[in-house]
Amino acid sequence: MRRSLHPVLLGAAVLALATGCSSGSTTVQRVAPGVATSTTSTDAAGTSWSMRARNVDLAIKNAAVHLGPSGTARLEFTVDNEGPVAEHLDTVSVPGLGQATLQGSAGAANALSTAGVLIYSGGSATFGTAAPSVTLPPSKDLKAGGTTQVLLVFGIAGLVHLTVPVLAG
């Protein structure tokens, strides 16, 4: 004897699974799949960017390249992760210059692993002169007062393409 679910019961089961059927629990999905909102703005302090989508609620604040002595350069910025899952900054690169060097913090928060620099859900990471940090390859093409393209690759948010100001010191 073959048993099958009544079509009405099957439809209710599919609907319950699709909407997160357990009452009182939170789901990981924050907005509808395929729907993402993002903003970008640039001022004297740097470029800010934010994105909110399924499993992502990420903000980058005041991203700017800071030039140092003898051609050194670092990318300084803060990442706030308000998403429901931990995020990792995997790779940073500048077209024409190559891949930057990531350094993580000594503690568990913002540590560097094979997945990248960890940013806990509800946490943040400030990349600057101390760890965590992003050191760019040396370049004579980076000039104070100009801008440069920066590509950041996150484990959940994916590729983020920014145009950031280049600042002296």
For 122-139, the pLDDT digits (tens) are 999 999 999 999 999 988
Checking if the pLDDT of 101 tops 70, the result is yes
**Which residues make Cβ contacts (< 8 Å) with residue 12, sequence separation at least 6?**
none
Assigned superfamily of 29-168: PCu(A)C copper chaperone (2.60.40.1890)
Query: What pLDDT does residue 34 have?
Result: 60
Mean pLDDT of 15-44: 58
To the nearest whole number, what is the mean pLDDT of the chain?
84
pLDDT given for residue 159 in this prediction: 95
Per-residue pLDDT for 74 more than 50? Answer: yes
- Residue 84: pLDDT over 70: yes
Give 141-159 pLDDT, tens digit per residue: 899 999 999 999 999 999 9
Give the mean model confidence (pLDDT) for residues 52-79. 93
How far does CA 165 lie from the centroid of its chain?
A: 19
Residue 164: predicted pLDDT: 97
Residue type, 160: V
From the list 102, 101, 78, 100, the residue with the least C-alpha distance to 151 is 100
**pTM of the full structure:** 0.78
Secondary structure, 3-state, 86-117: CEEEEEEEECCCEECEEECCCCCCCCEECCEE
- d(Cα 118, Cα 24) in Å, to the nearest integer? 29
